[in-house]
Structure 1
């Protein structure tokens, strides 16, 4: 009677699996990142709106319609991202078409 001895997976196979799992975990965290709530204390204090067209012109006369989070120096995403990080909001994401009083030309 012959017994087969199970050999552990090759080291290279293990390392590849570890890398794939790590990348998947990182991607899942990035997608799950919370978005800024317009009613949060920080958003209200900065006059943040997800849509620049919704900004109160009387309250924020410095606002111009072409000013969007996407073209702000604090935008931390790519030009194609709909949502990305912002220095003003810590780990929360903002809308590319949004605006707040901290807007500065990129």
Structure 2
């Protein structure tokens, strides 16, 4: 993923050019982790897809949103479709299971 994202430069107030990534690492990494964690694995023939456009990124995970989660409440509603996958990713330090990831994505962008 790193190789697909661009870096931009800007002239800082001190007269030195600084690099800034196209997207901060946390939002896209968390989006991918969420897609893996909450994917509907009963659906076959499709994959998690990441699409980059000039003005945005889309992370697609096959299947509908799980259980009680909607687009309106996803920042505040906690539900794990695949708790065993979530536990393994938590053990490796990729998931905290505190329903903080989506909120942090929105706050970071």
TM-score (norm 1): 0.26
TM-score (norm 2): 0.25
Q: Which has the higher strand share?
A: 2
